[in-house]
Structure 1
Amino acid sequence: MARSIIFNADDLGIHPTTDQAILLAFKEGIISSATLLMTTPFTEQAADLAISANLPIGIHLSLTLGKPVAAQNENSELQDNLGWMSRTPAFFFKKLLFLEHRKRLVPQIAAEFSAQLAKAADLGIKPTHVDSHQHVHMARGIMPILEELLPYYGLRKIRLTREPLWSARLAGKAGIWDRRNGIKGAAIYFSNSKPRSLVTPDHFFGLYHSGVLNEERLLGILQKLPANSTSEVGFHPGKSIVDNVYPQPNVNAFIASSERETEFATATSSRVKQFLKDQRINTISFREL
């Protein structure tokens, strides 16, 4: 009946206030892992803090936030005319369905992901795994890139963003429609991306709950964890602050939103910690997977 769970905080490096919240939730709460963006102005600072805290760090690969790490030419489709990666996830999920676009985009994505992983190594990070900002690694044609690329960097573990439909019911209207998480779930389902040679937890939760993962919803997930399984829950904890760092208004709004405060409260909830203890659910990181 053994059950193990990874509580991963996404978006490490997106903003210093978010980083502080993640580290506090690791120290005092249930967070057991975090994934770090390589593409933001705060990457190096966040890396130093996480390494000092002995926080298990994965890489939060990005195509939709920050500035590319790899050198770009005038034909690049990954950056705008100001040098930002401002594409939406929908761009990649739609374009990569078609072979003609995959032939053009896949080499650009492979070069960028390789540069991000190389940067992590240069920063002294020994990543536990990878996932991606807004789950773009689940778009068609990207998983084969990572199956070839990750072993080169000594990596073999990855998030598989496929969430059970019963979890969507727990997320309710707030998660599925108000936060448009249902659309993301449908896009991932139709992309049909599954790794053949990489290691993943048995289950993932958090896509449908992004921005709405309160205490009750998390307890609902934990109560239904399958026996003899390892699961991952994706979190977005933070402390809200108004700071227009990025060109995308929606990104700045999410940094500033009370939704991050809600997820921080969930990640530090004494009730959740007691439930894990009472139910003998083991909290692990990707190191132990």
Structure 2
Amino acid sequence: MASGSYGFRSTEIIVNADDGFYSDIRDRGIVSCLSTVDRGVSDVSVLMNGAVAKSLLSCPHHKRPQMSSLFSHISRNRHIPGLHFNLTEGKPLSNTKFVRSLLNDHSYFLGKHGFRRKLVFSGIHMNEVEVELESQINAFRDVFGTIPSHFDGHQHVHVLPGIDLVVARVISRLGIKWIRVPIEYIPETSCCITESEINFYREVSDQAMKAKEIFSSYSLKYTQKFIGMALMGKNQTMESLDQSLSSFEDCKNVEFMVHPGYRTIKHTNESNNLEGCGDPDGPDLFSQSSDREHEMFFLTSDEFKGYLMVHNYELLKFSDLS
């Protein structure tokens, strides 16, 4: 059980919503979780090649709050989010001729599994990963006027072999201090997690164990514990949450990765660019799933907030951590 449960001291918990700027409808759900009244999420990381980010980058600064519910909320609260580094979904921000190894024949990223397959066969050029990483950080700076408060990866791309070193070298040089290390106990079976998902989460955890050493060598910081992969969608229940958190002994801080929001709707091809990361088929099945709304309602529930209070968890942002 977390030490906070015994009342000796509170345990810091960062509940971080991934996929900010994917679409405004997803963002409106994230904002409802970040709001003062229903606050169940304390931080957010944003996709700079997401549809909302691209809209923000293309309009004057003074009009940006009108373009995005999430940007408006962040600006009002002087909140600096994290960067959700993306190498697997949609289009790059860099000129495609400089990142050819990251793309398919149609100049889109290769997908979660396609990218990993090409990486295994040494087909990904690390200098091109660095080019795209710097493009996404520069876009973040354009929108927010500063560097991200923390760093994580879309589909955990930042802990992949070789990518981890590029990320560590670049973000440490720029002064980004906090990074996600997704090491998590994954149960043998679950009614809500498929066998392929279990295998993927275990692979991510194994890769994160190795990436952790690289991140430490560059003096990057990360929370003591991480949960979220085994708690996605319908598996995000009070029972599952308690099983995960109660297994931690004397835990100072923990990151809880979540994916809340109003689900996206499949549009005609003409309007697909309004949501997602630029894929021709529009928003993906993950964003269209009712799981997004399940998480949103769970995180804003009195039961969840009551659990954190009873067990003495202190809800913080990454920028609050020392």
Q: Same fold (TM over 0.5)?
A: yes
Q: CA 1:232 to 1:176, structure 2 compared with 1: closer, same or farther past 3 Å?
A: farther
Counting aligned pairs with the same residue, the percent is: 24
Query: How far 1:88 sits from its partner (Å)?
Result: 2.1
Q: 2:290 aligns with which of 241, 258, 268?
A: 258
Q: Is 1:105 aligned with 2:125?
A: yes
Equivalent residues, number: 280
SS state at 2:255 partner:
strand
1:230 corresponds to which letter in structure 2?
N
Q: Unpaired runs of 5+ in structure 2?
A: 4-8, 57-66
**Equivalent-residue separation in structure 2 for 1:281 and 1:105 (angstroms):** 42
* Alpha-carbon distance between aligned partners in 1 of 2:288 and 2:296, rounded to the nearest angstrom: 13
Contact kept, 8 Å, 1:50 with 1:57, in 2: the verdict is: no
Alignment of 1:118 onto 2:138: yes
Contact preservation (8 Å) 1:206, 1:213 = no
- Residue 73 of structure 1 deviates from its aligned partner by 0.9
User: Which residue of 2 is the match for residue 275 of structure 1?
Assistant: 307
Letter in 1 for 2:51: P
**In the alignment, residue 116 of structure 1 is paired with which amino acid?**
Q
State whether structure 2 residue 233 is matched by structure 1 residue 211: yes
TM superposition shift of 1:125? 4.6
Instruction: State the 1:82 CA deviation.
Output: 3.8
Query: Is contact 1:92-1:136 (8 Å) kept?
Result: no
Contact 1:213 1:262 in 2 (8 A): no
TM-score, normalised to structure 1, is: 0.87
Q: Distance in 2 between matches of 1:269 and 1:115?
A: 38
**By how many angstroms is 1:49 displaced?**
2.4
**Which shifted more, 125-134 or 209-218?**
209-218
Q: Secondary structure at the match of 2:97?
A: coil
Aligned to 1:242: 265
The reply on whether 1:91 has 2:114 as its aligned counterpart is yes
Corresponding residue for residue 60 of structure 2: none
Segments of 5+ residues of structure 1 without an aligned counterpart are none
Q: Give the 3 Å change call, closer, same or farther, for CA 275–112 of structure 1 in structure 2.
A: same
Query: Aligned residue for 1:221?
Result: 244
SS in 2 for 1:199: coil
TM-score by length of 2: 0.79
Give the root-mean-square deviation of aligned CA atoms. 2.3
The higher radius of gyration belongs to 2
Q: What's 2:190 paired with?
A: 172
